[in-house]
Amino acid sequence: MTSANSRLRFAPSPTGFLHVGNARAALFNWLEARRTGGEMRLRVEDTDRERSSSELVENILTSLRWLGLDWDGEIVVQADNLQAHREAALSLLDQGRAYWCDCVSEAVQARAKARGGPPGYDGFCRTRGLARSDATALRFRTPDDGVTGFTDLVRGEVSFENKTIEDFVLLRSTGMPMFLLSNAYDDAAMGITHVVRGEDHVPGTPKYLLLRDALGLGRPEVFAHLPMLVNEGRKKLSKRKDAVSVADFAAQGYLPEAMVNYLALLGWGPSDGIEIRPLAEIIEQFRLEDVTPSPAFFDVKKLQHINAEYLRALPVDEFIERARPFLSGPEVEAVLTTIAPLIQERVRLFTEIEPMVAFLLDGPLTPDDASWDKAMVKGINAREMVDAAIAGLTQVTEWEVEPIRAAVEAAAVSAGVVNAQGEAQLSKAQGPVRVATTGRSVGPPLFESLAALGQTRTLDRLRAARARL
RNA sequence: GCCCCCAUCGUCUAGCGGCCUAGGACACCGGCCUUUCACGCCGGCAGCACGGGUUCGAAUCCCGUUGGGGGUGCCA
């Protein structure tokens, strides 16, 4: 299985951005190639001129690079091989393995409906002997009997009776080759040994095989059809309906290494059960034959968990460095630096940082209603607590965590926020102070936050809050 | 309709005939820790779709049923 000269490929179509399903397919190809010391090639399948665009090619390349999935050699652009694809198709025409057909899709459907049979092409033009024109497409003539099958590393033996495979289009009436032709031809031309792609390609595989056989192109060594990635409705992920763009995840503040780690877990799992681990170990343990055949739900919650783990594991300097693109400016970066370690273990995404450090920025603070209500309205002796805090904090000469803590503790006692033993109840007492100074009822540890805020701003905010009470 | 595929906790998975009174992770629910939140730790909830076989023995093999999905384009 471990052939040192294996050659795999990821062949996206630039008719959409790179989504997590594509990314997972790219990753599994990449893992197999890197583990075996084989090659990972990239091919752009742009035979649909109407829907392909260079912007989409850029999006795909950018996302692949972001994920760290590199490739070997030059990118193969299918449009560059049009001529070879056409010639191959025409050679089939010469052999009588293909024929011209002028049936438009509507006509095919209408006939199917009229005869009450199954939808799909019925071989209407097989014997009509049509000539090539700008209204005819070239169709491949599939065998009427026999079986076409293949061995799939994920699914075992899969076979189709040839009579169930309809004649399919090789060349459009415009002369442009169709996906199946270009795909099969280029796989052979590139010497692809392992065809690893989504399960949605299974029904097309016998056509692919029949074509390669007819063209005398041989067959790839291995097929592996990966399970679909599905949404909460257990339906195949849709670029249109589901939020699955890799670029979007990048923009939301996910770490590429976390994304890759999570993607590796969809349809595969290490036998020792250790899910979060270095890429090198994943490469080492990954086996195509261990991929699960059943569909997997893309669970953002779990992705977030894994991302948070990776975020916390970052050296604090790197955390700040990598957070920079997600911060609105140098001011935010400056304040983040003062309490980064406290923030780092509280965020799951880079985009969660800014709201958490916003209180350290200059300017007026408007506590959110829910927090105000919770601490100031429903809190115990909120007014007394704020008064006592102002008085106590004013006296603090060394504006550092411990003195601040001592002052708030003393304020709690004088404000009557105490337990049965008459001791300060910090968990209750900090509420009004926290909301007054940070605007929220949750956040980084309070005394550290106040130390970073500074005495003047702390007192200003406490007084402003007191005025509202 | 026809063809193909799939089926272990809510979710992702381990399991590849006895080690399984089914393990881990996410989520969820308790508790501990604690200046809020988060982290961490401890504990809990919860699953082999169903029915037949094969076998001394089945989550693991076979068949069927049911359910789900994919394909069925002059899209890829």
Sorting pLDDT into bands at 50, 70 and 90, what band is A421? confident
Coil, helix or strand at residue A103: coil
Amino acid at A67: L
Per the structure block, which two tokens stand in for A4?
A: 């040192």
Of A residues 176-195, those with CB within 7 angstroms of nucleic strand B are 178-180, 183
Residue nearest to nucleotide B10 (CA to C1'): A232
pTM recorded for the entire structure: 0.95
pLDDT at residue A116 is higher than 80: no
- As a whole number of angstroms, the distance between CA A4 and CA A1 comes to 9
Does A239 participate in catalysis according to the annotation? Answer: yes
CA nearest to A411, candidates A378, A443, A435, A433: A433
pLDDT at residue A117 is higher than 80: no
CA nearest to A127, candidates A105, A145, A109, A144: A144
Sorting pLDDT into bands at 50, 70 and 90, what band is A4? low
Query: Is A296 buried (19+), middle (13-18) or exposed (0-12) by CB count in 10 A?
Result: middle
Residue A181 confidence (pLDDT): 98
Q: Note whether A230 and A19 are within 8 A (CB).
A: no
Q: Note whether A280 and A100 are within 8 A (CB).
A: no
Segment A147-161, tens digit of pLDDT? 999 999 999 999 999
Residue A111 confidence (pLDDT): 85
Of A residues 58-87, those with CB within 7 angstroms of nucleic strand B are none
Residue A275, CB, strand B, below 7 Å: yes
One of A236, A239, A302, A374 is an active-site residue; which one?
Answer: A239
Sorting pLDDT into bands at 50, 70 and 90, what band is A19? very high
- As a whole number of angstroms, the distance between CA A288 and CA A286 comes to 7
Sorting pLDDT into bands at 50, 70 and 90, what band is A2? very low
Q: What percent of chain A has a predicted confidence (pLDDT) above 70?
A: 99
Of A residues 358-397, those with CB within 7 angstroms of nucleic strand B are none
HSE at residue A338, side-chain half, CA atoms within 13 A, is 19
The interface pTM score, or ipTM, of the predicted complex is 0.96
Which positions on chain B have an atom < 7 Å from some protein CB?
A: 1-8, 10-16, 23-27, 35-40, 68-76
Residue nearest to nucleotide B24 (CA to C1'): A273
pLDDT at residue A1 is higher than 50: no
Residue A427, CB, strand B, below 7 Å: yes
List the Cα angle A235/A187/A18 in 5-degree steps.
40
Q: How many CB atoms lie within 10 A of CB A297?
A: 14
